[in-house]
Amino acid sequence: MCGIVGFTGSTQAAPILLDGLSKLEYRGYDSAGIAVRDGEKDTEVVKAKGKLKVLKEMTNNGDAVKGDCGIGHTRWATHGEPSALNAHPHSSDDENVIAVHNGIIENYQELKEKLVKSGYSFNSQTDTEVAVKLIDYYFKKYGLGPVDSIARAMIRIRGSYALCVMFKDYPGEIYTARKDSPMIIGIANGETYVASDVPAILKYTRNVYYIGNMEIAKLEKGAVTFFNIDREEITKPLTEIKWDAEAAEKGGFEHFMLKEIHEQPKVVRDTINSVIKDGKIDFSDVGLTDEEMQKVSQIYIVACGSAYHVGMAVQYVIEDFTSIPVRVELASEFRYRKMTLVKDSLVIVISQSGETADSLAALREAKAKGIMTLGIVNVVGSSIAREADNVFYTLAGPEISVATTKAYSTQLIAGYLLALQFAVARGEMTEEKCEELLKELYTIPDKIEKILEDKERIQWYANKLAGAKDAFFIGRGIDYAIGLEGSLKMKEISYIHSEAYAAGELKHGPISLIEEGVPVIGVLTQQDLYEKTVSNMVEVKSRGASLMGLTTYGNYSMEDLADFTVYIPQTDCHFAGSLSVIPLQLLGYYVSVAKGYDVDKPRNLAKSVTVE
């Protein structure tokens, strides 16, 4: 997620802005910029693509930009590629309004068309420039000042946003507003600070205001005034921040991984909403048409690591919903196999970063053979996003922890939505059935939140596993695919040797590894396979295994079999993986914590594997 910092006071603003932005670098970004006002003089705007150090060098660490009022931003590209032009701040045509923005404006295209008709021109590819010029439009049309113009714009904008705005006619003042995206305001020694997260201003003050949803704030030197969307002045309590700086960066969580686990309800909801228009799936931004879907005779899903496990789960869903055969391939193997790809097939490449070397090579191999490609990626403007014929952007935001959690979950959601649209486009599912399943999909975020409420029980059980040398995950169908991901989480951050097996394969070798006390985690969410997997769990228990059962509410017989049981809310069986993976993420996390390891930076691993 992007970062925002603002300051107005009696000292030079630029060094403070750059310092605050450096505290937000963990959030991920591709460009940065500042806008600083020196009294009645024009505002100076400096922007640069790349790391913050580029901006620091351009401004001599801020000393070259004079003024005591300013705003700054680190951008994570959503609309428009990473570039100095697309970097914030953005301004109206005459620089009457200058602003920075976090979030996504969903109806920016509609608003842009209205503004073009009113004589505005656009220089960037961003949705932010639309918001800036909409505020400028209302400011000039009604002449009622900053608060009124921002409020009118907020009513028209759909989506999530945090805005910091400067007006030419109001030197020394900053106006901020928010809907769903966070914003915090601090005051100390006659100076006022604003930021999208606590670390940016914690060095300067611990006394802060939290601006509420659909509220506006006017920042002056050492003072702040709050307004509701009806332009009525309101009061807010001052709060003292008690976190230390490192904890503040993690939003109060001990580790980024736990923070990101807790962000999953939001990012899952955002990813669903990104392709749902008026209650129906709309892939116009993805680029894959119904006509193209109708022609597909074979799907290859190509990925590495956790993304490969997503492909394993999605394979079951697509083949259940449609008549299309699906093959899931490890990217590192796919690129070297001399196989003939089926005519009229589709290669789906899944990668959080969009830069995974093997996955990118597999994409290029498919394109060289004339096969249509689709990228499922989380980074706008990444190599896979640029080179694939079509791209489905997951809205997980930047993921700091090496062990993926929220990116994995959004990739699963993307896979479900693809499966549904393929089925409808090909006439293999009715619109009514699709709408029914979409309604169920919308319940997933709330159900994830319910699971997270029970994390203390999982922590208790994880403490018992901390001394384990080996662990095994078993399941059938989608449950097997989720077990693969659970096993990876266990091994990559707790360093316990862990393997996942299709439960029906136990008798073909793996059961020989079962000894007294060895943990076996059974995943049982597919009701038609429940009894079969229970039988496999009985087999390993009779050989001394310690059992954990992960199943849906209602399967209470699991209590009689397993030493520890975790329940997830009931949902359509095709979507159950989005729920069952959450306890497994928590299990891996808490085992690693119990063993005292660096959860966010496991040894020998990198967040993005960009070399072979």
- Residues that are catalytic: 2, 607
Count of other CB atoms within 10 angstroms of residue 463: 14
Give the Cα separation of 61 and 286 in Å (integer): 40
Gap between the Cα atoms of 599 and 322, Å rounded: 40
- CA 354 to chain centroid: 14
CA-based nearest residue to 251, from 197, 180, 193, 194: 197
- The answer to whether residues 358 and 331 touch, using CB atoms and an 8 Å cutoff, is yes
Distance of CA 246 to the CA centre of its chain: 21
Q: What's the token pair of residue 567?
A: 């329940």
Phi then psi dihedrals of residue 357, to 5 deg: -60, -50
H/E/C letters for each residue in 358-375? HHHHHHHHHHHCCCEEEE
Residue with tokens 């190599």: 383
ω before 15 within 30° of 0 (cis)? no
Q: Which long-range contacts (CB under 8 A, 24 or more apart) does 116-121 make?
A: 120/92, 120/93, 121/93
Kindly give, in sequence order, each residue whose CB lies less than 8 Å from that of residue 426, ignoring residues fewer than 6 positions away: 293, 294, 322, 323, 324
3-class state of residue 17 by DSSP: helix
Copy the structure tokens of residue 176. 């901020």
Residues 6+ apart with CB under 8 A from 439: none
* d(C-alpha 249, C-alpha 239), whole Å: 18
Phi and psi, residue 51, nearest 5°: -70, 160
Q: Where does 88-158 show beta strands of DSSP type E?
A: 90-91, 97-105
User: What is the Cα–Cα distance from 36 to 44, expressed in whole angstroms?
Assistant: 5
CB count in 10 Å sphere of residue 223: 12
- Token readout for 356 is 């995974």
Q: List the structure tokens of 382.
A: 């990444």
Q: How many helices (H) and strands (E) does the chain have?
A: 21, 27
Q: Are 365 and 308 in contact (CB under 8 A)?
A: no
- Report the interhelical angle of 305-321 vs 478-494 (nearest 10°): 170
